[in-house]
Amino acid sequence: MSAPERHLLPVATPARTRSAVRELVRPHRRLAVYGFGVMVVATATGLATQPLLGWVIDLVAAGEGALLPPIALLVVVALAAGALTALGLAKVAQLGETVLAELREHFVARALTLPLEQVERAGSGDLTARVTADVSRVADAVRSALPELARSALTIVLTLGALALVDWRFFVAALIAVPVQVLTARWYVRHAVPLYAAQRTAAGAQQQQLLETIGGAPTVRAFLRHDEHLGRVENRSLAAVELTMRGLRLAMGFYSRLHIAEYAGLAAVLITGFLLVRNGQASIGEATAAALYFHSLFGPVNTALALLDDAQSATAALARLVGVTDLPLPAPAAHVEPSGEAAVEVRGLGHAYVTGRPVLHDVDLVVAGGERVALVGASGAGKTTLAKLIAGLHTPTGGKVAARGVGMVTQEVHVFAGPLAEDLRLAGPDATDDELRRALSLVGALDWAQALPDGLATVVGEGGHRLTPAQRQQLALARLILADPEVAVLDEATAEAGSAGARVLERAIDRASDGRTTLVVAHRLTQAASADRIVVMDGGRVVETGTHAELLTAGGRYAALWRAWSDGRS
Amino acid sequence: MLRQAIGGQRGAVILGAFLLALHQATEALIPVLIGVMIDETELSSLLSWLGVLAGVYVVLSFSYRFGGRIAEGSAERAAHDLRLRVVRRVLHAGGGAEDGRLPGALTTIATEDVRRAGAVNLVVAVAAAGLSGLAVGTVVLLNTSLPLGLLVLLGTPALAWLGHLLAKPLERRSSTEQERAAHASGVAADLVAGLRVLKGIGAEQAAVERYRRTSRDSLAATMRAARAQALQNGLVLALTGLFVALVAYIGARLAQEGTISLGQLVSSVGLALFLMGPLHLLAWVNSELAQARASAARVAEVLAAPPAVAPGSTPAPSPVQGSVRLRGVRLGGLDGLDLEVRPGELLGVVAPDPAAASALLHCLGRSADPLGGVVELDGVDLTGVDPAALREAILVAAHDADLFEGTVLENLGAHTPAALAASGADEVIDSLPEGGQSLVGERGNSLSGGQRQRVALARALAADRPVLVLHEPTTAVDAVTEARIAAGLREARPGRTTILVTTSPALLAAADRVVLVDGGRVAADATHAELVHESDTYRTAVLA
């Protein structure tokens, strides 16, 4: 459907992603140098173990008895390596977590100030996926993959160095494994990255299907679509299983190839040791140390190579985060004050969400301070678009909008997860408890709010206490009161509550808009009838304006609507 | 439950366990062979030992490759089977599985919990592998030297146990930290979900501030966890190092006494390090088993959830005449409701108490049975009829019925021009870029509220059941369209029974007859026009 119109949010280039990481780390570079320095010393200390074991072997081979020095050193090395590793890991984690927190805060701050049309063009799923999946992927990498990878890489480099210190010929022998490992790693990453991306997509599709089928279970039962939905779930689940199995075959093939490298390297080191010992160029202790070094490389090498794709996918996720944080802040829309007495002034306004498909044409509208105007029209007439443009939620593609401070209650009623008071304080951060109660009481919500298990401290929203649609709308109106704008724009705030709750809400709307210039997108015509002025829209244009009585007399579109409405209530 | 999960894949689990056990056994042989070769003084025998090492590597590599594949595959398949069972149970006509569980929680059970429960197949295979590695290492060590063998044999489990002891408080702590961290990401997603609301009241900055506080709290919590984790890692490293020093010392003394050879000393040190591996595997098995048990319990609870309504065996009447009769029905907001709907009638029901309306809908759709009284279709008591068979005859179209991902026409199920016209969905289709082939998005999200409602109404009409119950079908539809829908309803349901549970005057005016349910019983029964004149309660309920 609107697929060709999707403009996903930008993704940073690899170069920009790297420089963004540098910018994030720069303020903490002392911590970074300290943490990594300690890790290097800790790893190097640990690597003294093998030569010390070699020393023990040499002492035994030479038939000497003084075992104490190397054993005592082994004890010292164990304690020092443990202590230094603990310190280094703590510092590295501190660095990672701090940088991560700053990154996610930057991201959320930027995401929440993005122009709405940009978010909508990308599909709301894009931003949500970045704020959840991508942030947690980067967090996982910072917490486990990167430290592991860094530790393994450090161990590998320092071990190879230590091997060279024992005798350079051991180092050369160990290098036999490297070409196989490099080829294997490249082969793996090339296949693993797209495969794991496909796996995540399949897992997401499965999750989506389960949510839809389970959440819609009553509908599935009512319409007897049991088999169809079971089939959909089965297909998505099988697709996910199939991709997991492919990933598994890939990973297992990867380890098989690494085993070849292990064997080749180990054999080369053992032969080298044998030849050097036979020619008297190395002691048996040194040969042992070399073999043990190489054997101890298996773990870190496998870990490092296996983590490459984690690191790669975290980098991709990071690029998606940086892509958003780097977006330029929109030039603050030159705030135009309406001229004279007017609270809202709209001139020659036009708008198109999709180029070439305008939904508003040349709309003029002036709302006087304190006036109450109702927008009326069939679905798709452009009422909501006009309301959103006036509230500044969208930037018009043509014409001009000027308005004093506007607050809008949109069709989407969202309850923010957390204590009810916190939800309200989003609109009035400094509001006292009394002010919160006053706002709730004005919209008729105080009674039920105080009756909640923990009163205003009750956790509501996702995962919390569930509010009814009418209660959510009352909450939206209470927020409007706390935000206290001069101009209130209300869009179909009663529509979803069902007719039974509509009256309660209409009273709440009256209270919330009391003393404000008000623009109501009227769904129920009773809302229009009580307005100071009615603006009738059709096909994106204003077709009639006037009071209820004037429009009825004029006998135009509004009169026809009213007849259709009041026929039912004769 | 776990036994069932394994039972379904018994062959694969046994083969996977065997191969992974073989892999651990060959891994244990590597340090032994290194020790042997270090001791070797003849090039030819060194080369033949390298041949042996190559053979061991071939077995090691293949057993790991295929063992891992088979064991993990059986875990995945077991999870898949469990997932389908959970979904089948949730969708079961008798319902009841969702009671007390949010869709999100059930979805987690159908993804995470079935995965953990299914993973028991892998866990069993890994347990076999760990035990095998331990056994081979032990046999070799005890053969080398009894005291050294015993030292390693007793020392490694003690070390593993110490590590476990250190990890225990950490695990508890990390789960609360994880919750905190998840909370931060939850808050962010929630704020993004409410983006329009935030922008509507200009609360973006307040939201940014709020997120920053959450993020800082979560940072402080994760830092505490990270420090504890670092400390634990350091301690484990130090303990392992001390143990190696001890083994080297005892081994060296034994070698000096001539009890063991130099090569055996090297092997013993290598094995002491290697044995940490199988022990870690067994510790992993232990914690996974605990999780698998907890997950399996949650899955079993859903599968065993009692149905909301008892299955029935009486066949539904056929052909259905469409007369519906309620006698003395008590449930929720209903208190002895008597109501008779004639075949082919278009009846309006006004219930100002939402609890009464929903109880009526539950009884008619058999998503709940009345506590007292009888509901009959053509004289057949509904509680005796199988719920799935009943729904062939009666369709209750809920106010908030969901649309499903797919095209508009796929959602409708049948292409019925009459249903499209009567519901005003024809206009929706005309306004969409690809008409009836347009995708509606997840849960119909890409349609507006009014469009969704009209497509849902069209779907209910297109299903063409003998009895149709519509609950507030036009709340999100504009007045003009609502009038058109009201005018077309009768035509769309010729000779079929239709019950409209609504307070919309436009729809009620189109009904043959309207009953007002007040105080749980029928308080008035007349036409809309008469009720408007005669009943105050009715006027208040219907005319705002």
Look up the CATH number of the domain holding residue A370.
3.40.50.300
Residue A129 tokens read as 């996926």
CATH 1.20.1560.10, chain B: domain bounds:
2-145+260-303
> Domain boundary residue among A325, A351, A367?
A325
570 residues of chain A, pLDDT tens digit each: 333 345 778 889 889 999 999 999 999 999 999 999 999 999 999 989 888 988 998 899 888 778 999 999 999 999 999 999 999 999 999 999 999 999 999 999 999 988 888 887 776 667 877 887 788 888 888 877 878 888 899 999 999 998 898 899 999 999 998 899 889 989 988 888 888 888 878 888 888 888 889 888 999 999 999 999 999 999 999 999 999 999 999 989 998 999 999 999 999 999 999 999 999 999 988 998 898 889 888 888 888 877 877 787 788 889 999 999 998 877 666 567 787 788 999 999 999 877 777 889 999 999 999 999 999 887 778 888 899 899 988 888 888 899 888 999 887 778 898 899 999 999 999 999 999 999 999 999 999 999 988 999 998 887 677 787 778 889 999 999 999 999 999 986 554 445 556 677 888 888 898 899 999 988 777 778 889 999 999 888 999 999 999 999 998 888 887 876 666 554
Architecture of domain B2-145+260-303 in CATH? Up-down Bundle (1.20)
Please answer yes or no on whether A224 and B392 come within 8 Å at the CB atom: yes
Beta strands in B19-158 (DSSP E): none
Q: Is residue A3 in some structural domain?
A: no
CB B478 within 8 A of CB A379: yes
More confident residue, B512 or B7: B512
Are A321 and A346 within one domain?
no
How far is residue A40 from each of residues A36, A79, A323, B192, measured CA to CA in Å? 6, 16, 33, 41
Q: Is residue A1 in some structural domain?
A: no
Are A318 and A351 within one domain?
no
| % of chain B exceeding 70 in pLDDT | 96
CB B316 within 8 A of CB B385: yes
Are A259 and A172 within one domain?
yes
Are A442 and A556 within one domain?
yes
Instruction: Kindly tell me if the per-residue pLDDT of B530 is higher than 80.
Output: yes
Query: Is A460 part of the contact surface with chain B (CB cutoff 8 Å)?
Result: no
pLDDT recorded at residue B511: 95
Question: Contacts of residue B101 in chain A, CB cutoff 8 Å?
Answer: none
Question: Contacts of residue A489 in chain B, CB cutoff 8 Å?
Answer: 200
Q: How many CB pairs under 8 A join A and B?
A: 464
Residue A469: domain span: 342-567
Touching B: A residues 215-234, CB under 8 Å: 215-226, 229-230, 233-234
Residue B494 tokens read as 């010729």
Rounded mean pLDDT of B70-88? 94
pLDDT recorded at residue A3: 37
CA-CA-CA-CA torsion sign (B360, B364, B370, B374): positive
Q: Which residues face A544 on adjacent strands? A: A536
* Model confidence band, residue B375 (pLDDT cutoffs 50, 70, 90): very high
Are A283 and A412 within one domain?
no
Counted domains in chain A: 2
pLDDT recorded at residue A72: 96
Cβ-nearest to A568 among B194, B195, B486: B486
Are A312 and A354 within one domain?
no
Q: Is residue A119 in some structural domain?
A: yes
Cβ-nearest to A379 among B184, B234, B478: B478
* Model confidence band, residue B395 (pLDDT cutoffs 50, 70, 90): very high
First to last CA, chain B: 56
Highest mean pLDDT among A46-50, A546-550, B177-181, B215-219: A546-550
More confident residue, B530 or B162: B530
Are A378 and A280 within one domain?
no
Are A414 and A524 within one domain?
yes
* Model confidence band, residue B82 (pLDDT cutoffs 50, 70, 90): very high
pLDDT recorded at residue A335: 61
Write out the H or E segment, with its range, that includes residue A11. Answer: none
CATH 3.40.50.300, chain B: domain bounds:
324-542
Query: Is A137 part of the contact surface with chain B (CB cutoff 8 Å)?
Result: no
More confident residue, B186 or B188: B188
Cβ-nearest to A393 among B199, B392, B486: B199
Comparing alpha-carbon positions, the chain B residue that sits nearest to A502 is B544
Please answer yes or no on whether A500 and B505 come within 8 Å at the CB atom: no
Residue B114 tokens read as 């079935």
What is the spatial distance between Cα A132 and Cα A109, in angstroms, rounded to a whole number? 14
Residue A452 tokens read as 């909640």
Query: Is A37 part of the contact surface with chain B (CB cutoff 8 Å)?
Result: no
Rounded mean pLDDT of B204-220? 91
pLDDT recorded at residue B478: 77
Task: Return the number of other C-beta atoms located less than 10 Å from residue B180's C-beta.
Answer: 17
CA-CA-CA-CA torsion sign (B243, B246, B250, B256): positive
* Model confidence band, residue B58 (pLDDT cutoffs 50, 70, 90): very high
What is the spatial distance between Cα B96 and Cα B90, in angstroms, rounded to a whole number? 8
pLDDT recorded at residue B160: 76
First to last CA, chain A: 42
Please answer yes or no on whether B38 and A212 come within 8 Å at the CB atom: no
What would the pLDDT profile of B293-323 be if each residue is shown by its tens digit?
888 998 999 999 999 998 888 888 889 999 9
Please answer yes or no on whether A65 and B542 come within 8 Å at the CB atom: no
Beta strands in B304-456 (DSSP E): 324-331, 334-341, 346-350, 372-377, 380-381, 394-397
What is the spatial distance between Cα B104 and Cα B85, in angstroms, rounded to a whole number? 17
Please answer yes or no on whether A410 and B196 come within 8 Å at the CB atom: yes
Question: Which segments of A48-176 does DSSP mark as H helices, in order?
Answer: 49-61, 68-112, 116-122, 124-129, 135-140, 146-166, 168-174
Angle separating helix axes A284-325 and A226-278, nearest 10 degrees: 140
CB A90 within 8 A of CB B231: yes
Comparing alpha-carbon positions, the chain B residue that sits nearest to A261 is B57
Q: Of the given ranges (A211-220, B100-109, B128-137), which has the lowest mean pLDDT?
A: B100-109
Residue labelled with tokens 């005057």:
B505
Residue B288 tokens read as 């996974």
CATH class name, domain B324-542: alpha beta
CB A473 within 8 A of CB A505: yes
CB B154 within 8 A of CB B134: no
Touching B: A residues 391-450, CB under 8 Å: 391, 393, 405, 407-414, 416-418, 422, 425-427, 429
What is the spatial distance between Cα B240 and Cα B166, in angstroms, rounded to a whole number? 14
CB A46 within 8 A of CB A121: no
Length of chain B equals: 544
> Domain boundary residue among A276, A297, A325?
A325
Are A142 and A233 within one domain?
yes
Q: What is the DSSP letter of B312?
A: -
Reported for B510-513, long-range contacts at CB under 8 A and 24+ positions apart, including other chains, are B510/B346, B510/B486, B511/B346, B511/B347, B511/B348, B512/B345, B512/B346, B512/B347, B513/B345, B513/B347, B513/B348
